[in-house]
Amino acid sequence: MDVVVCVKRVPDASGMDALVIDASRKDIERRTLVAKINDWDEYALEAAAQLKEKAGVSLTAVTVGPDEWDDVLRRALAMGADRAIRVDEDMLAADCHAVSTVLAALVRTLPHDLVLFGAQSEDFGSGQLGVMVAEMLGIPHAALVVSLEVGEGSVRVDRELEAGALESYAIELPALLTIQTGVNRPRYISVGGIRRAMKKDLQIMSVSELGLTAEMLAPQAVLERLETPPRGKEAELISGPPEETAERLVGILRNAGIL
């Protein structure tokens, strides 16, 4: 079975107090931030790696981005991917349609029984990409998958709905799933593992090799500007001995009708 996982590189903003919007007002200040693999994609990769451990799966990890994006693919290789392909194109400013066009074109060139995406990205978080690619490929999909089990020619999945309700499907392969966090426990990738992955081949392609032209990648949605949300007005810091603070908190929650 052939599994393709699409991954993305995102800035890690967890270490800062607040994000800073840059001068263009169309992006955040990235220079002080380190990059990492998109959280959701790590779960997708782990799901794929677990499939590979169970059965004879060939695993390919793909991404679209400039050369520093190689590091997320190295990570995928360290997690067990057999192949890694990067389409060399900086699409940070591009819209979801453009990116999904590239990814769909790439996946089409690869054998694929199962295509996995993270359910959304940590930076722009549109949650559209996987679904759009599925549509372009013309294969069935399920979004926000919280468990999956591959059978003969099909995959059984649970999707997460509101308030923790689950929806179960059997989907025929080939299919595309977008993976929710919590579906598994992504393994730790050791620095040694990544170093060993440095020795593995990483394939680079251009958009033109995929037969794509600039018109085909023209944006359908344009980002106008980024803004930080207005500060909330009511924040109350409760301090004091635990017995008292707990009591006050309970009172507040009761009054708000939460308890």
Please report, as ranges, the residues that interact with another protein according to CB under 8 A.
12, 14-16, 32-34, 36, 79, 185-193, 195
Q: Which is nearer to another protein, 208 or 228 (CB)?
A: 228
Using CA atoms, how far apart are residues 69 and 37, in angstroms rounded to an integer?
9
> At closest approach, how far in Å is the CB of 23 from another protein?
19
Max CA separation in the chain (angstroms): 67
Q: Which is nearer to another protein, 12 or 135 (CB)?
A: 12
> At closest approach, how far in Å is the CB of 190 from another protein?
5
> At closest approach, how far in Å is the CB of 186 from another protein?
8
- What six digits make up the tokens of 78? 């360290």
Q: Which is nearer to another protein, 28 or 33 (CB)?
A: 33
> At closest approach, how far in Å is the CB of 227 from another protein?
22
Using CA atoms, how far apart are residues 23 and 31, in angstroms rounded to an integer?
13
> At closest approach, how far in Å is the CB of 116 from another protein?
18
Q: Say how many C-beta atoms besides its own lie within 10 A of residue 196's C-beta.
A: 13
Q: Which is nearer to another protein, 163 or 188 (CB)?
A: 188
Query: Distances from the Cα of 185 to the Cαs of 50, 136, 181, in angstroms?
Result: 10, 30, 9
Q: Which is nearer to another protein, 65 or 186 (CB)?
A: 186
The string of DSSP codes covering 25-64 is SSSB--TTSEEEE-HHHHHHHHHHHHHHHHS--EEEEEEE
- What six digits make up the tokens of 33? 């931030």
